[in-house]
Amino acid sequence: MNPNPFTQFETWFAEAYQSEPTLANAVALATATKDGRPSVRMVLLKQVAETGFVFFTNLESRKAEELAANPQAALLFHWKSLGRQVRIEGAVEPVSDADAKAYFDSRPKGSRLSAWASPQSKVVPNRAFLEDRVAELEEKYTGEDVPLPAFWGGYRVIPERFEFWINRDDRLHDRFVYEKDGDGWEITMLGP
């Protein structure tokens, strides 16, 4: 294992992109309410650097509400084709408006319209409601750029702990944990 967990992650992530049929960047994001009620859902990792792991979302969604009340999260990447998973735990902070806009502007127009059309995590009457909203927005923004909604942005998970898991025969898996130790990382091995 590389002594730097970010380097180790980037190596595995590159291998996942070669072996996973779709969405190697899909990650389970676990959040919790202020009183500890957990919630988990899949999001897409859009940036990774030693400053953290970034995903984007509607800032009025359930996950955003939970992160506002309890700015801690856990991520779980599982790459079945490789027999590997990575768990990451840490504090969460919002990305800058400039970073959110740069990413939003890079998305296909349909994805930008969908961000505007969907009241994420809120009750909608039916699918037609969403499709009608997209159609209205397509007409509104014909020939124009779709602007960044005020209710859309991103979050950065700042790792304090990584766990790299490798599948082995007979369930005798390998588990390597990296925990912050001053400016570096301490690596330990756990029993499966």
Show which residues are catalytic: 171
CA distance 64 to 57: 8
The secondary structure of residue 43, as a DSSP letter, is E
Question: Percentage helix, strand, coil, to 5, in the chain?
Answer: 30, 40, 30
Apex 121 CA angle, 118 and 122, nearest 5: 75
What's the distance, CA 105 to chain centroid? Answer: 18
Distance, CA of 48 to CA of 157 (rounded, Å): 10
Closest alpha carbon to 94 in 121, 123, 125, 54: 54
Question: Which letter does DSSP use for residue 124 in this model?
Answer: -
